[in-house]
Chain A
Amino acid sequence: QVQLKETGPDLVQLTQTLSITCTVSGFSLTTYNVHWVRQPPGKGLEWMGAMWNGGGTDYNSAFKSRLSISRDTSKSQVFLKMNSLQTEDTAKYFCARQGRATRAFDYWGQGVMVTVSS
């Protein structure tokens, strides 16, 4: 069955770099797009960026040049890397698959809660 699982640190120091891995199963990264969405505590959802099935990427301009998304198709993994972390980057980070027919984010990982500490 389709599964996505995020792994990453619980705590990141101020101004440091965040690295999260999304490991997927039940589908191929060369067939489906995978997106990153984050949610600060008690707040709403914010789209961060996408890894397209063809290997390209797209980013929310809100993250300017801080964000990088890449993948390793042989390991079925998508990577998020964001530098210059600030306290407002404290959030739960999700990866999600985009359905081919619905175009919606149809499967989500459980998310990883990251706290940026000074």
Chain B
Amino acid sequence: DIVLTQAPLSVSVTPGESASISCRSSKSLLSSKGITSLYWYLQKPGKSPQLLIYRMSNLASGVPDRFSGSGSETDFTLKISKVETEDVGVYYCAQFLEYPPTFGSGTKLEIK
């Protein structure tokens, strides 16, 4: 199975500042079709995960453009610019290149 390693475990951010979360894959997530199958989710407290970014850098519908995704074949970053209080929760990266789909262990974002 593909292992996704996230860092840091938690991050505390002042509203208005930026935050970055890293996700490293044990295997290249670049498919033969040139698509990088890395996704980002946010799970707000007590809620289901919601899709933020698909295929490494594409913003999901309804997601503010404060969120952005970037990376290479194995190293990925989610950046949140101008963090707001509503951004608190646990961020997960996920891969759907191979089955089983796997998730990172999560990064908890807190507000200072």
List the interface of chain A (C-beta within 8 A of B). 35, 44-47, 58, 60-62, 94, 99, 102-106, 108-111
Interface centre among B50, B94, B101, B103 (most CB of A within 10 A): B101
Contacting residues of chain B (20-78) with chain A, CB-CB under 8 angstroms: 37, 39, 47-51, 54-55, 58, 60
Instruction: Pick the 6 closest A-B CB pairs, nearest first.
Output: A108-B48, A102-B54, A45-B103, A47-B101, A104-B54, A60-B100
Residues from chain B with Cβ under 8 Å of A99 in the complex: 54
- Interface range for B: 20 to 34
CB distance from A97 to the nearest CB of B (A): 11
Q: Quick one: closest B residue to A61, CB to CB?
A: B100
CA distance A60 to B98 in the complex (A): 12
Interface of B is mostly: loop
Q: Say yes or no: is B106 at the interface (Cβ < 8 Å to chain A).
A: yes
- Known contacts A44-B104, A44-B105, A45-B92; decide if A104 and B51 are in contact (CB<8 Å): yes
- Known contacts A44-B105, A45-B92; decide if A106 and B100 are in contact (CB<8 Å): no
Question: Is the CB–CB distance between B103 and A46 below 8 Å?
Answer: yes
Question: Is the CB–CB distance between B48 and A103 below 8 Å?
Answer: no
Question: Is the CB–CB distance between A106 and B51 below 8 Å?
Answer: yes
CB distance from B104 to the nearest CB of A (A): 7
Residues from chain A with Cβ under 8 Å of B81 in the complex: none
CB distance from A25 to the nearest CB of B (A): 16
CA distance A6 to B55 in the complex (A): 27
Residues from chain B with Cβ under 8 Å of A46 in the complex: 103
CB distance from B4 to the nearest CB of A (A): 10
CB distance from A38 to the nearest CB of B (A): 11
CA distance A103 to B16 in the complex (A): 32
Q: Quick one: closest B residue to A111, CB to CB?
A: B48
